Chain A
Amino acid sequence: MRKPLLALAAGLLLAGSVSAASAAEKLKVGFIYLGPIGDLGWTYQHDLGRQALVKELGDQIETTYLENVPEGPDAERSIEQLVRAGNKLIFTTSFGYMDPTLKVAKKYPNVHFEHATGYKRNPNMSTYSAKWYQGRYIQGLIAAKMSKSGVLGYIGSFPIPEVVSGINATMVAAQTINPNIKVKIIWANTWFDPGKEADAAKALIDQGADVIMQHTDSPAAMQIASERGKLAFGQDSEMIKFGPKTQLTSILDTWGPYYIERVKAELAGTWKSEDSWGGLDSHMFAMAPYTNMPDDVKKIAEDAQAAITAGKLHPFKCPVVGQDGKEIECKGGANLDDGQILGMNFYIKGIDDKLPGK
């Protein structure tokens, strides 16, 4: 009884090692995803980036992903599993993987890591993110133009600087159109929970909001806005099919070019630890077509997009006034500097709400 079993096990092991050997020359690239690849939002877009990478460099690399990895005690193990499976470049695609990624990076100095949206780096750990606040600025202009009630509904995920800067950029822009514009904010305290997101959208609409914007990842809010005959912005991905008469535009995360660039550097042996923070000019993200709006609003949006891309318009142009009415120190000369935006933990004047934890 024992020997046949052992023989079977040996055979299986052998089969495993043969398949490993044939793939040995290819660079292995790993991805850790927060949601399921079918979330149609954040993770979906990262996986589109991975697919673009495979399409471009598929003959030289092999990719592996782990999806639905919670930002808790499992993350470190999942990352280390990818290392142990021979992946030499690993993308960890959510803020909450920051500490686990750093721990594993320190343990495996010869493996390179890329962490999305964090701020801790190491000689073998880069960070990358996008200046989504630029897109939020454009959305703010559209929202103020399109809102009849003068109340915007905003579904926040976590009150971290990335999300806060998005709310501020929206309101800075909206106030240039309608100085009395109001925003209602609900913190969903999750990145992805269609049920909660839908509830938040309903509550916002009940409070009078007629344009819904979100910093969470599912199309649930879009569907609710569509049912209730309101307008909404997509998030991360193209969500027009969830609201053909509802979506105004959407901030599209386009990770493909970045992933291709970094893998090419790895293949060429020129990979370095860097901090990449790309805006509209670097194609780190894009705007979905401007739909369901009159031509004059579309023109405003397109002009703003062109101006931001060309570097002529900065959403956080000084003076920026805080909630307390005091001007924020202008560290970037004509506008707030990157550090101020990356660490943004205040609301601007005109937001009639309290930032959690302030």
Chain B
Amino acid sequence: MEMLKRPVSGCITIIAATLVLLAGKPAQAERFELGAAPTEADAVVGCLYPMTGRSATYGRDSIAGIQIALDDLAAEAASGLPAPKLRVIADDPRSKASYAVRLAQDFITNDKARFFCGIVSSGVAHAVSDLALREKIIMVGTDHASSRLSIEAGHKYYFRVTNDSWTSMAAGARYLRDLQKETGWRKLAFIGPDYDYGHVSWTDLQLALDELDVEYETVSDLWPKLYEPDYSIYINALQSAKPDIVVTALWGGDFIAFIKQASTTRFFETTRLANFDTGANYDVMMALGDQPYPGLILSARHHNNWPETGRNKRFVTQFHEMTGRYPTYAAEGAYTGIMAIARAIEKAGSADNDEALIKSLEGLQLALPEDPPGFASYIDPDTHQIVQAQAVGTVVHNEDFPPSKLMVGNWAIYDAEDLKPSQEMVKRRRDAVAGGSEAVPPPTP
């Protein structure tokens, strides 16, 4: 008995110490409830965003983006417009598909959610999208980007309102085509995270380059795992392959770590580095400090300094006034998600009829902060993917959005219609999956 007491007391000491430590800090994981009260809401939206861990910034910014959308809707309602009252619940799926599905199921059962929104990880989004199909709940994706979700795995209940990997890579391919005319580059390398988003981005880039008849040689494609802390071996491998351009699908902290580690080598003296989907995000701009590494080509799903329209300036200012910081692209994505749901309900007349809501979302036009003058984003009725313009550029000194000292400038703008996947491409990819293949066959001559 004495033998048992001592280990038990040791364990109790450790557990007690841990509890004391935890008690000293507020819980980081938190369920957010925004908007209308349960009894007043026209519809409940269940959102999944990371509130803890390395992607927590995206979750926090998304919550602020949702709040801006709800404020805009409340202002519309106050002025007599028929804006619906939404109740938005957000929780943290902790980047785990099984946990996300459980939370989403609880949104339906306990909160009577009529819509899902959000989700940063494409892997997690796949799982929740499957649930949305089974439970017949409309899912409005806002932050994950794998084009597989809207093309191969798309279904009537799934919509996405931020740029997907195809849109970004189609813009990137056009930038690379134009750059080839200037510099004659030939050798291309790719480095992306070893999961769905990374691999789909690489496929999308190759397909987009092929569609444009860009001639290039792939000298290396590398697949570090997500959240890899040490890129030195990959950087050496890239330098050994001597590419003219490296395209990457690393994002967030991984992309920042890659840049920081590459900057300690001659990487930026010998090659260009392009990130067309997430590279110009504001957290990256801040992390660059005052170092505009030569050869960086970046874009993102929303920019604080492009387009210079009243709508974009107002959104960025609202966000800054609300939070005291400038937004990452996640904020505008979440804002768009809530506005899309609200407009669909307005158009359908209520949130009760799924078919009417789906019809409303298909082709829905939304004037968004990221839309250049004279264009409004819209949801493609076939793929359910939002169609948007994209701007790609290089890093320039710009201290208008402190603490960042750099922003992207020297823009090349690509029209939304040009960035849509062709119907033939969509059919080819869907047919390939229907035929049991993961590989996308080349176009028929």
- Judge: A and B partners, yes or no: no
Which residues of A does B touch, CB under 8 Å? none
Chain B contact residues, CB within 8 Å of chain A = none
